[in-house]
């Protein structure tokens, strides 16, 4: 399943994907002449490396640029600045022809299993399409290849000729996964693949992704807003806020020792499914006030400062760098001037009823 020539290249660096200074500014235009009046700074300077075989989780609130980052990594979008390097090759601005190998090696799975499948095509032809486009040899015939894939993702191979609407949400997501697997990719960028699914189905799909990763040595970038799913599936996790990574660390580091006030707030906001801990969960909760500012006009300095309870003057003037702080290992980086210490009592706005 691994191309020989790319093996040698990958051997040079353990990193499958490296992005640096990545930017995506969507222009806002007005009038007949498409005068540029501003830009949505959806992704505004991101550095991230993804090593072979690992799963990197990407979390953050709606609109913080997760999907855009994913689409830049797969080069569905062309960055307005910065670099995307895949297996040592700079693919930031290569054209359609140069993208061909990338289109095979990097696949994307989408959130909405309903709209990402063409309703007029049978499941068979949906999954066969990438094989045919990339002219992949199928020794036992296309049909057999597709049926193998269906079996692989836990669908009945007999359902080859059915249409997407005949499947449930979870099954459609499996179809999407089968389609992504068809080309035996090296990297899969999954954009909220389980967000639209019911809990029980979500767990099935998460387990399936786990199994496939082991079987095929896959590398995942897993985008989600659900912190507990991300914790379950990722080796490393990056937290995004307004187009930037504010904290990145190994999974256990991040969840046991969050440094950035935003990460702390995000984690404390997750409801605990245990009525006995209801009170302590509420007591320890940091409620953020206000909304995420607009990415058209992000705050100066640290972007989180408008909602941060630790903000000082310097936060407004100086954009904190993403580096290891408070003696953290090099792999744990935080972009905050005043990171949260281990035993710090966090003090956001308190929930109203927990006046303990």
Partner 1 sequence: MSTDSLAGLTMPAGPAKRPFLEVKDLTVRFNTDDGVVKAVSGSSFAVERGKTLGIVGESGSGKSVTSLAVLGLHRTRSNATVAGEIWLDDKELVTASDEEVRKLRGGKMAMIFQDPLSAMHPYYTVGAQIVEAYRVHHKVSKKEARVRAIDMLARVGIPQPEKRFNEYGHQFSGGMRQRAMIAMALVNDPKLLIADEPTTALDVTVQAQILDLIRDLQEEFGSAVIMITHDLGVVAELADDVLVMYGGKVIERGPAADVFHEPQHPYTWGLLGSMPRLDRELRERLTPVKGSPPSLINLPSGCAFHPRCPYAGRNGDRSFTESPELRGGVHAVACHLPAEDRQKIYEQEVAPNL
User: Does residue 228 bind partner 1 (CB under 8 A)?
Assistant: yes
Residue 310, binding choice from partner 1, ligand SF4, ligand ATP, none, Cβ under 5 to 8 Å by partner class: ligand SF4
Among 149, 153, 229, 302, contact with ligand SF4 (rule: CB under 6 A): 302
Q: Which stretch binds ligand SF4 (CB under 6 A): 47-55, 98-106, 154-162, 299-307?
A: 299-307
Q: How far apart (Å, rounded) are the C-alpha atoms in residues 251 and 256?
A: 8
**Quick one: which of 318, 239, 307, 268 has its CA closest to 48?**
239
User: Does residue 248 bind ligand SF4 (CB under 6 A)?
Assistant: no
Residue 265 CB contacts under 8 Å (≥ 6 apart), including other chains: 286, 287, 288, 307, 348
**Quick one: which of 230, 270, 264 has its CA closest to 247?**
264
Among 8, 115, 207, 317, contact with partner 1 (rule: CB under 8 A): 207
User: Does residue 353 bind partner 1 (CB under 8 A)?
Assistant: yes
Among 10, 18, 48, 66, contact with ligand ATP (rule: CB under 6 A): 66
Judged by beta carbon, residue 146 or residue 315, the one nearer ligand SF4 is 315
User: Does residue 40 bind ligand ATP (CB under 6 A)?
Assistant: yes
Q: How far apart (Å, rounded) are the C-alpha atoms in residues 103 and 131?
A: 11
Judged by beta carbon, residue 134 or residue 256, the one nearer partner 1 is 256
Strand order through the sheet with 323-324: 106-109, 187-191, 219-223, 55-59, 236-241, 244-250, 333-334, 323-324
User: Does residue 63 bind ligand ATP (CB under 6 A)?
Assistant: yes
**Quick one: which of 209, 180, 205, 208 has its CA closest to 195?**
205
Among 16, 19, 65, 107, contact with ligand ATP (rule: CB under 6 A): 65
Among 16, 22, 60, 67, contact with Mg ion (rule: CB under 5 A): 67
Judged by beta carbon, residue 52 or residue 225, the one nearer partner 1 is 225
For residues 106 and 74, the answer to whether their CB atoms sit within 8 Å is yes
DSSP, collapsed to helix, strand or coil, labels residue 225 as coil
CB 262 to partner 1: min, Å = 9
Render 177-221 in DSSP notation, one character per residue: HHHHHTT--SEEEEESTTTTS-HHHHHHHHHHHHHHHHHHT-EEE
Q: Which stretch binds partner 1 (CB under 8 A): 11-19, 42-50, 138-146, 270-278?
A: 270-278
User: Does residue 68 bind Mg ion (CB under 5 A)?
Assistant: no
Q: How far is CA 25 from CA 8, 190, 304, in A?
A: 35, 22, 19
For residue 302, give both structure tokens: 């640290």
Residues 315 to 354 in contact with ligand SF4, rule: CB under 6 A = 315, 320, 336-338
Cα(first)–Cα(last) distance of the chain, in Å?
58
Judged by beta carbon, residue 251 or residue 337, the one nearer ligand SF4 is 337
User: Does residue 62 bind ligand ATP (CB under 6 A)?
Assistant: yes
Q: How far apart (Å, rounded) are the C-alpha atoms in residues 351 and 308?
A: 16
Q: How far apart (Å, rounded) are the C-alpha atoms in residues 313 and 337?
A: 11
Among 107, 202, 219, 284, contact with partner 1 (rule: CB under 8 A): 202
Residues 170 to 199 in contact with partner 1, rule: CB under 8 A = 170-171, 198-199
- For 273, counting Cβ atoms within 10 Å of its Cβ (0-12 exposed, 13-18 middle, 19+ buried), the class is exposed
Among 106, 182, 281, 322, contact with partner 1 (rule: CB under 8 A): 281
Q: How far is CA 71 from CA 97, 101, 115, 321, in A?
A: 18, 16, 17, 25
User: Does residue 351 bind ligand ATP (CB under 6 A)?
Assistant: no
Q: Which positions touch partner 1 (CB under 8 A)?
A: 61-62, 168, 170-171, 198-204, 206-207, 210, 225, 227-229, 231-232, 252, 255, 265-278, 281-282, 285, 287-289, 291-292, 351-353
Q: Which positions touch ligand SF4 (CB under 6 A)?
A: 260-261, 302, 304-305, 308, 310-311, 315, 320, 336-338
Q: Which positions touch ligand ATP (CB under 6 A)?
A: 26, 40, 42, 60, 62-68, 225, 295
């Amino acid at each position: 399943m691994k191309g020989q020539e790319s093996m040698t290249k990958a051997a040079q660096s353990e990193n499958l994907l490296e992005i640096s200074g990545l930017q995506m500014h969507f222009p806002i235009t007005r009038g007949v002449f498409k005068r540029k009046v501003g830009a949505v700074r959806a992704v505004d300077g991101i550095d991230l490396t993804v090593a072979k075989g690992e799963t990197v989780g990407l979390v953050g609130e709606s609109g913080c640029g997760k999907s855009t980052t994913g689409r830049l990594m797969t080069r569905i979008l062309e960055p307005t600045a910065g670099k995307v390097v895949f297996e040592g090759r700079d693919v930031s601005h290569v054209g359609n022809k140069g993208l061909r190998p990338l289109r095979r090696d990097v696949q994307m799975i989408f959130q909405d299993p309903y709209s990402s499948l063409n309703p007029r095509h049978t499941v068979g032809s949906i999954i066969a399409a990438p094989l045919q486009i990339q002219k992949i040899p199928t020794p036992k015939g296309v049909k057999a290849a597709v049926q193998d894939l269906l079996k692989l993702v836990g669908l009945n191979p007999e359902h080859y000729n059915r249409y997407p609407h005949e499947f449930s949400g979870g099954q459609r997501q499996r179809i999407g996964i089968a389609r992504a697997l068809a080309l035996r990719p090296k990297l899969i960028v999954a954009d909220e693949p389980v967000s639209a699914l019911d809990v029980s189905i979500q767990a099935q799909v998460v387990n399936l992704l786990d199994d496939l990763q082991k079987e095929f040595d896959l590398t995942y970038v897993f985008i989600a807003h659900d912190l507990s799913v991300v914790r379950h599936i990722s080796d490393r996790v990056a937290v995004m806020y307004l187009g930037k990574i504010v904290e990145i660390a190994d999974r256990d580091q991040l969840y046991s020792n969050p440094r950035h006030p935003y990460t702390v707030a995000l984690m404390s906001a997750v409801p605990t499914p245990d009525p006995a801990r209801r009170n302590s969960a509420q007591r320890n909760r940091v409620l953020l006030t206000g909304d995420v500012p607009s990415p058209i006009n992000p705050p100066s300095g640290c972007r989180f400062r408008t909602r941060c309870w630790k903000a000082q003057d310097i936060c407004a003037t100086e954009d904190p760098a993403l580096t290891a702080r408070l003696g953290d290992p090099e792999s744990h980086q935080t972009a905050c001037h005043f990171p949260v210490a281990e035993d710090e009592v966090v003090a956001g706005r308190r929930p109203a009823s927990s006046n303990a």
